[in-house]
Amino acid sequence: MYTLQSEEFFASPADSVAVVRRCPQSPFPEHSHDFGEIVIVSRGGGMHVINDQAARVSTGSVLYLMPEDRHAFTEVNNLFLTNVMFRLPERYRPLLDTQLSPAFGMDWEIGCHTRRQVESLLTNLMVDFEAPALVRACYLEGVFLQLVALLWQNRYSASQDRGVDARTRQLVNYLRGNFTEQIEWEALATRFSLSLRTLHRKVLEQTGTTPMRYLNRLRLEHAAHCLKTGSDSVTDIALSSGFEDSNYFSTQFRHEYAQSPSEYRLRHRQAN
């Protein structure tokens, strides 16, 4: 694992904040930073792993990394995000402590109204203006503090939005929490006041993949975790992950992991 150095990303030694867009974000190996990092997802989706804890991210996800944290993007689906990097993380830790949680990024979602306000602050952080180093540092820090306050105030705003985007985000969150159940798409669309057509289009936009493929991935990731860590039979794992048929599960598993569930279990047993 390697540590990214601030010299590589900050415009000058005096700058306390730097912003880089990743449009799109490519898969990125595990790393840490000698700076703090706030990641704001604006489109698509993917799998983010922070300190060995994996969580799917999608539009509106907000992640915090302090220098002691390690993270990676192991899977990306048309994932667009912005990294807000900040020096002197210890200076901001008391302010950010309220926002740092192991599960952070699993449950923090900003809604479309907040995303528009955040975008305006990100643009201000990226503005390039000539000024004495101290003036520039004060300007950047001021905008950064506004951003941190806005994110905290609106950390659950996705659920307050009434629009299609937020209802889709709620549906995606529902899938994350209920993928072991049998999903009836018509009933789910009705529950979140979406047409099937809109459900398909918006899930594709927010996760980068189709609803069925997204559901299958959630189930397969759960099954892979069970194969690695438990001793249940492949059939029991298939059923407890939401698959109705263990043959279909094995086919899907082989398609996603290029090996059978048993081979996967054996490989991870040998690795440990």
Q: Does 250 bind ligand RM4 (CB under 6 A)?
A: no
# residues contacting ligand RM4 (CB under 6 A): 9
Closest to Ni ion by CB, 37 or 75: 37
CB of 68 to Ni ion, least distance (A): 13
Q: Which amino acid is at 191?
A: R
Structure tokens at 143: 């905008």
Distances (CA, A) of 77 to 42, 48, 59, 70, 148: 12, 12, 11, 21, 27
Number of residues in the chain? 272
Rounded to whole angstroms, what are the CA distances from 72 to 32, 51, 65, 111, 239?
A: 9, 9, 11, 24, 30
**Which residues between 34 and 63 bind Ni ion (CB under 5 A)?**
37
Cα 130 versus chain centre, distance: 35
- The answer to the question of residue 37 lying near ligand RM4 (CB under 6 A) is yes
Q: Closest CB to ligand RM4 among 20 and 138?
A: 20
Residue nearer to ligand RM4 on the CB measure, 30 or 256 = 30
Integer angstrom CA distances of residue 173 from 26, 56, 107, 158, 214: 23, 10, 9, 11, 11
Binding mask 20-39 for Ni ion (x = CB under 5 A): -----------------x--
| Strand ranges, E, within 51-190 | 53-58, 62-65, 71-86
Q: Which of 14, 22, 78, 256 binds ligand RM4 (CB under 6 A)?
A: 22
Of residues 59-118, those binding ligand RM4 (CB under 6 A): 83
List residues near Ni ion by CB under 5 A: 37
Residues that bind ligand RM4 (CB under 6 A): 4, 9, 20, 22, 25, 28, 33, 37, 83
